[in-house]
Structure 1
Amino acid sequence: MSTPTTLHTFTTSTRLGEVTIEPVDPVRDAELVQRWLAHPASSYWQMADLHVDDVREYLAGIASRPNEDAWLGRVDGEPLFLTETYDPSLLLDGVHDTQPGDLGMHLLVAPPATPRHGLTDTVMTAVMRFCLTTRGALRVVVEPDVGNRKIAAKNAAAGFRVLREVDLGSGAHAKRAALSVATRADFAASALGDGFPADGAGAGSHREPATHRPDPMIATHLTAPLMEHAHRHLAAKALAELAHERLFAPEPESDTDGAYRLDLDGVTYRFTARRYALEHWVIDPDSIRRTADAGVRGVVVLPVDVLELVAELQPLLQVPDALLATYLEELSATLASAAAKRERELDGTTPSVAGLLEAARTASGTHATAEAFQQVEAAMSEGHPSFVANNGRIGFSLRDYRAYAPERGERLRMLWLAARREHSHLALSADQTEAGHYGGPDTPGELSDAERAAFADRLDARGHDPADYLYLPVHPWQWEHRVAVTFAADVARGDLVPLGPGSDEYQAQQSIRTMFNRTRPERHYVKVALAIQNMGFLRGLSPAYMRATPAINDWVADLVTSDETLRRNGFGVLRELASVGYTGDVYHRTPQPNPHRKMLAALWRESPVPRLEPGERLVTMASLLHRDAGGAAFVTGLVRESGVAPQEWLRAYLDAYLYPLVHCLLTYELAFMPHGENLILVLRDGVVRRAIMKDIGEEVAVLGQGPLPDAVARIRAAVDDDEKALAVFTDVFDGVLRHLSGILAEDGVLPEDRFWALVAETIDRHAAEHPDVHAATGIDLRAARFAHSCLNRLQLRNTLQMVDLTNQSESLIYAGSLANPVRRGETSTERRI
């Protein structure tokens, strides 16, 4: 950007007093700045070795260049900081897409001789005001080292949004930087920007150029080639999974090995496939051929279209007529997202499996490890491995999809509401307090000092006492589409008070309403209500359920940590430590329960990052089922890069995953929902070392009649022994291991007979090590067969609510039974269906 007229002194009032910013005098200030740079707290400037003469020369060099300036800052007359401004089109050429009005900024706060609470907040506030007014910036650009977590938190508090990570400098001065920007509106909405005019008043009415905003109408992924690939991929999945659930039975073509056909009313599908244990189909999408008999014109080849496939299968699927269009809409959205994922994989936006493995292998330090973890999370393209319509997200616009879909990997900020205490609750784990949760002076919490002060000021300005309110984070989509509309009366009467965005940036996880803290990875996940329709449910969050969530998590965590076997296996849980819910709305006073009662609640869950030892890495278990655009499987890459024999790799994984689940079920009648997104795997050198379970409050159950504290009685779901066994048979064998076995077999890593032999060995090893437990239970995990519980049938029956969460057992749909691949006396030939 062009440099405005030289400034002599900028002055602004802050909480700590008057702040002035003036041009640096290299002769006068060199000794002072050299002392600041030499302090260990300034290590990220990489200038500790400079002498006073070197610093004087450095500052004089800045003064001599027309597109750089150095400024000395004082608080009540005492020199306490140095800031530099620069033209990012020159210093960040090749890594930053500079827009008119961009101004780069560096900031060094003097290492404190006597700590002053709130000093860095005050300095950042003053510098941002300086940049956005006197320096005429439309956007401020910063590029701190990714390892500098303190400045990352301060930048977030000032409204900076991380664009991406970039490599800057070379040699000893090279760094991995978090390229970030903050507009006037970003700063004005931030905790540090309270009272700053968002519209540019007093600064030449500068506004961000509209020409640089992406056109929300352009949908580059909706092209014929990308859509054909998506149709074929989803058609192959639909044929495979619906055949697995026995909704139809493709017939083998007698003349070709591995060739099958499915005859429907006037239409025939032909394809090649391999079949594995548990009636698992792996269908080649490119082999699918759809034909129809056109009478005198003979056989006509028709396009492969998954929507037409569902319509043609409707007599067999029996989706209720009133819900068929809803199911097709969810399938259409899944189709669109599949095309968008494919586009990003092909253009290199989404890393390949090789890229993901490289990032994990080379990650060093907390930030890099968290970055690699979240790269894998955003790269996964399949969604749920069994559900066909798994990316419905009815309610998202194209703009919403780009901003909030997990596979986009974008960062977002929670919108915070103040919820009147008399209509709300805050439930906490036994070792938590409200002050500790939200934060206090010098106590890290979910809100910084600056945020709490800003929120209190905003409540005061509206005539409210901050002590009368709890703080509730909401998804920005939820605020725009639900809170400001559906709960307009609650906002108008001051029971809900909008406070603005928080400082921390989050990334949506595959479960879409759970957010990982990217600004402070060691802080908690946040799970919020998101009233979109996705995969058979409206994705709300019940305040009533949230009340008991911390107590349930405490009980489960105490059980897990007190069990010697689970400790030895490294099995753990991520506790949901706090929950908040609002019930002051009229929807909570209607005669019948309704989805509107699940739109204003949130919970906080521990992050796995603080639990890591040096050299350990994180992935969600769902990543083991991921294939990239080139067909490479993440699990295959892990096994081959580990250097460990495939059967030893699998044994380590089963010890970390299956063994603890078997132990919990047989010892305590405790069942988790152990699907891919609910397990965090801890890796070392590419091998699974331990597993951490999450999503405890809503997805854990005690299946027997053993004693339970009243506070957690909600999780009891007593069933007979055969149904108890389904916690392993359905959720683990059919829901996870069926798919994993197929990938390893297809890739030539491990034959399926050896795979299931290792599963049997894991169960038998638990029996040998815990004979009393096995003798006392009627649960037989080596039984010949087990009931075939079907997931897609649930969604097809009622795409609005697949199961009654208060009575899930009665909601299940079965399709006969499946041969158990680990049944006693099993041979490799018997295993193949």
Structure 2
Amino acid sequence: MVISHPTVAQGYPGLHSPALWHRANVRLIEKALSELSYEGLVTAESQPDSVSGDSVFTLASKAGGYRWRGHFNLWDQIVVAPGSVRQLADDQPVVDAISLLADVLAPLAIPPVTLANYLRETLNTLAADTQMLAAREGLSAADWLALPADRLQRLLDGHPKAVPSKGRVGWGFTENLRYGPEQGGGFQLHWLAVSRTLAQPVCAPGWDAARLLAASCDAAERVRLHQLLAAAAPRAEDYWLLPVHPWQWQAMIATQFAGLINAGLLIPLGEAGDRYTPQQSLRTLNNVDRPSEPNLKLPLTLLNTSAYRGLPARYLAITPALSDWLQRLLAADALLQHCQCDALAEPAAAFVAHPLYHGLEGVPYQFDEMLGAVWRESTESRCGMGESILMAAVLQQADDQGQPLVVELIRASGLSAEEWLVRLFDLAVVPLYHLQARYGLGFIAHGQNLMLRFANHAPAGILLKDYQGDLFRTEAEWAQPEGLDPAVWAALPTMPSHYLVHNLWTGLFASVFRFMAPLLEGSGLLQERRFYALLSQRLRHYQAGHTALAARFAELDLFNPSMPRLSLNRARFAAGYGDTASRPIHALGPALNNPLLIGDTLATA
């Protein structure tokens, strides 16, 4: 008998391509050395290189050590020159990311179980990256920007700070092929009929269970689902229909909620309705068949980058009320309206509690976040003629020829780099800071949460999204909202004002601008120091025009000489991979000299 092995043509795109595997490893090696040095986990020696103008970095290790070219950016991060990492011992290129990581992390004495799981996540990331590289072969930055937003998701690198950015612990290769964003194929959702005695969706005015179902199923599919329900339940009107990610259904719900299923409180109806594709976050899905219908955010009990991707009950209960209030607040504020700062509505949410895990003190959080949904307005429904709406992650992304997408955006806009950036800072950064200073609201504006609106490729406004734990409020008494249910306000996570500012610092500045500014400098378009000079200038200009908020600017000080260096990989090594009752939080690395202060000095010189 002849055994037939899978080939690329049979559905293993990229993974078993030596060329793509090589490229994925080299890219991840460069990212690892850069990010681990930024977090202060590894320390390389440097010497100027008179030939290239860069520095030559060397890192000693038990296996002999490594050498590469690069330079420090203003965040004390080494920007590694592509293709320059070589073995010290024999001057050969380094092409095995897993061996390098195991070697350079050895001095940290990370527990073997933690290191093994971290390397497993990294191998998963390499496998997904080969699929991503296969999907974007031959495409230029201009090609990327011409794609619909959902197709662009296939091509993005993923979390810039996590070395294993696509760990997806719980999925195998088959699941990645079907449910990962790299492949772009759509899939149907699984549907559960939920007894109204068990749970009901929480909806904004004008929304109900019937409208939510219609957003995912056409008339024929709705009839079919209701026929299935009528055959299974004597009183179909006592149930409403909840979408479930098909992987979550078979991996978790079918067994963990088997008691409720056998009691007739949950009735499985199978897969039906429109096809969906995942965004980079995996659990947020775009409707392929009707793109203007709402996105769905569905729980996945899957460990990815830093946490399991469930949905917490405390935030789902307040989502529609918070969404409605936030949209009214943005519409009533003159500055935010001038900046075209808006939010994607989240008109409905649902949570089905597990009969044992929910309320069990100290239960690992992923056990209590398995079944629910958030319905979110799609960007396609908000996109006007001549506009595009893209996630902020595009600003830190380059194509495979090294051309940054932001450089292509600037070129196509007809503006100078400085003109383009001033618009970006005025329309994205200033509104986020204003929300903090005027209302005490901090939004974690990382590359996936912050949506950028472009008109003729120039910044034209922003859209906020994702309020489930990524919207914070200050503890200060001056932050008293009007027109919001006090219970909703109380449910928001809180922090002192001097911490709230780090939602902007750590989210947008450290997670987007830290990677974006070196791309502009490397392209010869704008020096990194000038980038932060312009950013400081625009923030100072905003502060000068709002002197009544001066005391709050002091509390929310973006110009402190020293700023924290929050570290994602360091946090994983500290927390390990054991179950915990709450999500891991960032760990602190060595303090940073504030790049904004450097820019501020240049701007006022």
Q: Which of the residues 358, 370, 385 maps onto 2:160?
A: 385
Q: Does residue 282 of the first structure (1) align with residue 79 of the second (2)?
A: yes
- Hey, what's the Cα distance between the residues in 2 that align with 1:668 and 1:829? 28
1:683–1:302 distance in 2 versus 1, CA, 3 Å: closer
Map residues 60-99 of structure 1 onto 2, 5 A cutoff: none
Q: CA 1:712/1:215 → structure 2, altered by over 3 Å: closer, same or farther?
A: farther
* Equivalent residue number for residue 543 of structure 2: 767
Gap change, CA 1:401 and 1:825, over 3 Å in 2: closer
SS state at 1:314 partner? helix
- Kindly indicate whether the alpha-carbon contact (under 8 Å) linking 2:354 and 2:368 is maintained by their aligned counterparts in 1: no
Q: If the length of structure 1 is used for normalisation, what is the TM-score?
A: 0.67
Please point out which of 529, 546, 556 is paired with 1:753: 529
Structure 1 position 626, deviation (Å) = 1.6
Matches within 5 A, 1:561-710: 561-588=331-358, 590-594=360-364, 595-705=366-476, 706-707=479-480, 709-710=486-487
Report the Cα distance in structure 1 between the residues aligned to 2:451 and 2:49, rounded to whole angstroms.
Answer: 46
1:304 aligns with 2:81: no
- d(CA) in 1 for partners of 2:593, 2:549: 25
SS of the residue aligned with 2:128? helix
Given residue 60 of structure 2, which amino acid in structure 1 is its aligned partner?
D
The answer as to whether partners of 2:190 and 2:272 remain within 8 angstroms in 1 is: yes
Q: 2:355 and 2:8 mapped to 1: Cα distance?
A: 37
Contact 2:314 2:491 in 1 (8 A): no
Among 409, 415, 429, the residue aligned to 2:190: 415
Q: Report the alpha carbon displacement of residue 273 of structure 1 after superposing the two structures with TM.
A: 0.5
- Give the match for residue 135 of structure 2: 344
Contact preservation (8 Å) 1:377, 1:619: no
**Which runs of structure 2 are paired with 1:2-17 in the superposition (5 Å)?**
none
Distance 1:498 1:803, change over 3 A: closer
Instruction: Give the whole-Å Cα distance in 2 for the aligned partners of 1:657 and 1:255.
Output: 38
1:245 match: 39
| Aligned match for 1:264, one of 61, 65, 79 | 61
Give the Å deviation of 1:680. Answer: 1.5
Match of 1:324 in 2: 115
Counterpart for residue 228 of structure 1 = 22
Q: 2:565 matched to 1:795?
A: no
Q: Measure how far apart 1:640 and its partner are.
A: 1.0
Per-residue CA shift, 1:511-553, capped at 9, x if unaligned?
1110111222221110001122211212122334312222222
TM-score for both structures, normalised by structure 2: 0.91
Deviates more, 1:682-691 or 1:488-497: 488-497
539-548 or 677-686: bigger deviation? 539-548
The residue identity in structure 1 corresponding to 2:202 is A
Mapped partners of 1:825, 1:502: distance in 2: 54
Q: Cα offset for 1:320?
A: 3.3
- Any idea what the Cα deviations from partners look like across 1:27-54, whole Å, max 9, x if unmatched? xxxxxxxxxxxxxxxxxxxxxxxxxxxx
Task: Give the C-alpha shift of residue 356 in structure 1.
Answer: 2.4
| 8 Å Cα contact 1:490/1:496 also seen in 2 | yes
CA contact (8 A) 2:216 2:273 kept: no
Q: Name the CA shift for 1:662/1:826 in 2 (closer, same or farther; >3 Å).
A: closer
Say if 2:135 and 2:155, in contact at 8 Å, map to a contact too: no
Structure 1 residue aligned with 2:308: 538
Which protein has greater RCO, CA pairs closer than 8 Å, 6+ apart?
Answer: 2
**Distance change in 2, residues 1:668/1:318 (3 Å):** farther
Note if contact 2:387-2:453 (Cα within 8 Å) is conserved in structure 1. yes
1:751 partner amino acid:
Q
Amino acid at match of 1:781: L
Letter of the structure 2 residue corresponding to residue 774 of structure 1: A
**C-alpha offsets along residues 569-609 of structure 1, whole Å, 9 cap, x if unaligned?**
00011122111121254333645423222111111011122
Q: Distance in 1 between matches of 2:71 and 2:183?
A: 33
The runs of 5 or more residues in structure 1 that have no matched partner are 1-211, 293-298, 361-371
Alpha-carbon offset, residue 780 of structure 1: 1.9
* 1:379 counterpart letter in structure 2: L
Asked if the contact 1:221–1:343 (Cα under 8 Å) also holds between the matched residues in 2, the reply is: no
Superposed, which structure 2 residues align to 1:799-814 within 5 Å? 799-800=576-577, 811-814=585-588
1:438 aligns with 2:203: no
Equivalent position amino acid for 1:715 in 2:
L
Specify whether residues 802 and 509 from structure 1 end up closer, same or farther in structure 2 by C-alpha distance, changes over 3 A only: farther
Q: SS at the partner of 2:15?
A: coil
Q: CA deviation at 1:229?
A: 1.6
Within 5 A, what are the aligned runs for 1:137-176?
none
CA shift at 1:714, angstroms?
1.7
Contact map agreement 1:438 1:447 (CA 8 A) in 2: no
Aligned to 1:355: 143
Match of 1:427 in 2: 202
Larger Rg, first or second structure (1 or 2): 1
- In structure 2, which of residues 149, 169, 180 is the aligned counterpart of residue 405 of structure 1? 180
Residue aligning to 2:3? none
In the alignment, the residues of structure 1 paired with residue 522 and residue 528 of structure 2 have an alpha-carbon distance, to the nearest angstrom, of 9
Q: CA deviation at 1:287?
A: 0.8
Bigger Cα displacement from structure 2, 667-676 vs 336-345: 336-345
Distance 1:801 1:411, change over 3 A: farther
Identity among equivalent positions (%) equals 29
Aligned ranges 1:445-524 → 2 under 5 Å: 445-524=215-294
> Are the counterparts in 2 of residues 575 and 696 from structure 1 also a CA contact under 8 Å?
no
- Quick one: structure 1 residues 830 and 282, their matched pair in 2 at CA, closer, same or farther if it must change by over 3 Å? farther
Alignment partner of 2:153: what SS? helix
1:733 maps to amino acid? F
RMSD over aligned Cα atoms: 2.7
Alpha carbons of 1:214 and 1:337: their partners in 2 closer, same or farther (altered >3 Å)? Answer: closer
Contact kept? 1:424, 1:470, Cα under 8 Å: no
- In 2, the alpha carbon distance for the partners of 1:804 and 1:244 equals 29
**Alpha-carbon contact 2:85-2:94 (below 8 Å) kept:** no
Count of matched residue pairs: 589
Q: In structure 1, what residue type is equivalent to 2:542?
A: H
8 Å CA contact retained: 1:537, 1:799: no
